[in-house]
Amino acid sequence: MKYLKIAVLLMFFILPAVMPSVALAVDPPASTPSVTNVHGFGYLIEEGDVLIYGDYDIPYTTLPDVPANLTYTFRLLDSDGNEMGAVVPYVYFDYGYNTGAFGLYFDGAVTFGGDYTIRISQNPAYFATPQNYDYAISSSAWSTAATHEESQTELAVAVISTAERLGTEYSTGNVTINLLESGLTDTVLSSPLGETYFRGAVYGIQVMAPDLFMYQIIPYDSSEDRVWGDNQSENYTGRYEGTDIGTGVEATGVQFGMTGTAVMALAFAFPVCLGFIIVSAKKFHKTEPGFLISALVVLMVYMMGWMPAAIFATIYQLCGIYVAYVWFYARG
């Protein structure tokens, strides 16, 4: 019991002297931290929202043992010095130090195009003399996008530019960092490296700039009933309108007293389908392969605008009836 009391007393007298030296363990940066390529975007998710996005540089030649999300904070200040919001560096490359991206999103508290300052502040728990580094957001940093879609596109362009710089920065002779890859129609964030980094650095980026991602989740709007029309059918029918092919088809239809699409269906589609069915019956001793190919032929002819929508719908209804017959009756 005597030794226990001595140990408790030592804790009260020795720990306070030791803790400051442990807490203040981070050296000053190699040079002045900074933010660059700052952009202000509006109407990314909803009307009235604002995203302050940019690159940062917290230069360290020798990386501290404490990650940057504990030692540094990015703050947005208004013209009166009031803090509007804050975010910490995302720890991914170099423990969060050196170069990276950051984003501060607001859903109404920040005025688009206002007078604001970005402050990089050091955590007093890790620096003997914590410093603040202020950078005013210039008027040219605010987006000129006029629509929701344009704003999302501008953000995507800014992120791609950052990804290219970071890829160059962190690639070495033996290791290449690719934060981007080619998508179906455009450049997107690489998976998982690019997607993981930017989703951590800019919370909600997958919603604010969905074009940056190969796979997207698009919510289905069920608030209103869908009104079905025949616009697409009319597009197919008028595919060759005004061309030599269209003129020839219509002229042929006039000769037989019917529409050009009906003539093409009778003169081209039906003979081709009949040929496949006959070949299938002779070669395979059954007609099902011929019917399957004929279904594709009918679909392609309709999309070419060479079959009336009524005939196309009738054929596919008969196909449905035949499939039901084969499945429920002929199998027994």
Instruction: Kindly tell me the sign of the dihedral angle through the C-alpha atoms of 223, 225, 229, 232.
Output: positive
Whether 178 and 260 map to the same domain: the answer is no
CB 53 within 8 A of CB 158: yes
Whether 149 and 195 map to the same domain: the answer is yes
Residue 226 falls inside a structural domain: no
CATH classification at residue 127: 2.60.40.150
Dump pLDDT digits (tens) for 79-106: 999 999 999 999 999 999 999 999 999 9
The residue segments making up the domain with residue 103 are 34-212
Whether 235 and 94 map to the same domain: the answer is no
Nearest to 253 by CA among 242, 241, 265, 237: 265
pLDDT score at 11: 56
Residue 14 falls inside a structural domain: no
Listed in sequence order, the residues at least 6 apart from 27 whose beta carbon sits closer than 8 Å to its beta carbon are: 60, 62, 64
Residue 274 falls inside a structural domain: yes
Distance (Å, whole) CA 218 – CA 326: 38
Q: Domain boundary at 212, 239, 264, which?
A: 212
Give the helix/strand (H/E) hosting 291: helix 288-303
Query: Amino acid identity of 260?
Result: G
Residue 17 falls inside a structural domain: no
Give the helix/strand (H/E) hosting 72: strand 72-77
Residue 223 falls inside a structural domain: no
Listed in sequence order, the residues at least 6 apart from 131 whose beta carbon sits closer than 8 Å to its beta carbon are: 28, 121, 122
Whether 265 and 163 map to the same domain: the answer is no
Whether 304 and 172 map to the same domain: the answer is no
Residue 20 falls inside a structural domain: no
Dump pLDDT digits (tens) for 150-201: 999 999 999 999 999 999 999 988 889 999 999 877 899 999 999 999 999 9
Whether 263 and 208 map to the same domain: the answer is no
Total count of domains within the chain? 2
The answer on pLDDT for 109 being more than 70 is: yes
Whether 241 and 311 map to the same domain: the answer is yes
Whether 105 and 197 map to the same domain: the answer is yes
Q: Domain boundary at 184, 212, 240, which?
A: 212
pTM above 0.85, yes or no: no
Residue 168 falls inside a structural domain: yes
Per-residue tokens: 108: 């109404």
Distance (Å, whole) CA 42 – CA 109: 12
Which residue, chain included where needed, has tokens 């020798």?
A: 62
